[in-house]
Amino acid sequence: MPNLSRITYYLPQNILTNDQLEKEYDSWSATKIYRKTGIENRHTAKGEKTSDMAVKAAEELFRSNPEITKDDIDFLILCTQSPDYFLPTTACLVQERLGLSRKVGAFDFNLGCSGYIYGLLLASSLIQATQSRNVLLLTSEKYCRYIHPQDRSTRTIFGDGATATLISETKGFATLDAFDWGTDGSGAKNLIVPAGGDALPCSSETAKEQTDDSGNIRSLNNIYMNGPEIFAFTLDTVPITIERVLKKASLEMGDIDFFVFHQANKFMLETLRVKLNISEEKFIIDMKDYGNTVSSTIPIAVENARRKKLFHNGAKILLAGFGVGYSWGSAILTWKE
């Protein structure tokens, strides 16, 4: 059974606070921003590339766990939607900078809020297929490069950051027991950077700014999020993937000791918690000082809970990621510490 072995994370030093945002947005106070999002601070990567953050997260994993060497790694997987280049693959750049063996397999995959679940699934599959023994899964996201400074709907929510997770054949603090996943591309338009790819190359036309009905300013080069549609999708989809992953693991809702969902925003999470009838003590919310770091939210929350010793030996933990794509996934872990 593949094991979740180690998690570390890196957050850029530059911090964007609610007090700073209050000075920029006339009608939004710091208190209002926190009340709507559950976020007080978010880190932004100024002068740092996605690969820089990924390397720093990985180097911290090796530094803080000297029993793990770079020679132990035989596969590198990097989840990002903000690659350094269209090509080459950012994972290849990270492999070279980390000094990993040239025998290491390395690739990127482009997923957002469900990305960590998919990464665990990919790593687990490589190990179960006996193609790997130790997989280094990196998540690194720099959404700030897509956000218009006058778009409150996204700037108040998203933060940048990276995580490193070691998935091992033999050793770890949790086993990876079951997975579920799904996709609905009909929702692609509701969380999107419209310009920049082959469908709509950047141009002077795509750079023209527009103001929406809520007073947010953005161009087609910036990220757009339809909050109400994303909210409705989440409330419809998350209960379904939870039901499916529980069935795959032969468990009931009451068997789960802790729930760690993608940290989208506090209001959405609390609505899900109430709908699913999950008690507060079982439900992890951990975004106040980071914001929505996309594919990095779940591993950051799990690692912080581990440091606080919130999880006990034998605990069943359900992870769920959901968002851009639309894409979603869930996983069940059994804690071993």
What are the Cα distances from residue 12, in Å, to 56, 163, 198? 10, 12, 30
What lies within 8 Å, CB to CB, of 97 at 6+ separation is: 51, 55
Which of 62, 45, 126 has the alpha carbon at shortest distance from 97? Answer: 62
- Local confidence band at 27 (pLDDT 50, 70, 90 cut-offs): confident
Residues with Cβ < 8 Å from 251, sequence gap 6 or more? 316, 332
Please confirm, yes or no, whether 92 is among the known catalytic residues. Answer: no
Active-site residue, from 79, 144, 216, 262: 262
Q: Which of 326, 306, 327, 307 is nearest to 317 (CA)?
A: 306
pLDDT the model gives residue 58: 98
Q: Which member of 3, 18, 43, 113 is catalytic?
A: 113
Confirm whether 134 is a catalytic residue: no
Q: Which residues contact 82 (CB under 8 A, 6 or more apart)?
A: 50, 140, 141, 142, 143, 145, 146
Domains annotated on the chain, with CATH: 3-173 (3.40.47.10), 177-335 (3.40.47.10)
Of the pLDDT bands very low, low, confident and very high (cuts 50, 70, 90), residue 276 is very high
Interval 57-83: pLDDT, tens = 999 999 999 999 999 999 999 999 999
**Mean of the per-residue pLDDT values of the chain:** 96
Cis peptide before 146 (omega within 30 of 0): no
Inter-CA distances, 44 with 11, 41, 154, 184, 265, Å: 8, 10, 13, 30, 17
Is residue 292 among the annotated active site residues? yes
pLDDT digits (tens, 9 = 90+) for 143-200: 999 999 999 999 999 999 999 999 999 889 999 999 999 999 999 999 999 999 999 9
Choosing from 3, 222, 265, 292, the catalytic residue is 292
pLDDT at 170: 87
